[in-house]
Amino acid sequence: MYVPRGVSRAAATRLLTDQAEYGQWELARLRLYPDGSRRVRLRRRIIRQLRPTW
Give the global pTM: 0.62
pLDDT of residue 16: 84
Q: What is the pLDDT of residue 12?
A: 86
pLDDT for the residue 19: 82
Name the DSSP class of 47: -
Other CB atoms within 10 A of residue 25 CB: 18
Beta bridge partners of 31: 39
Residue 24 DSSP SS3: coil
The per-residue pLDDT for range 6-43, each reduced to its tens digit, is 888 899 888 888 888 887 788 888 898 999 888 988 88
Residue 49 pLDDT greater than 80, yes or no: no
The predicted pLDDT at position 34 comes to 93
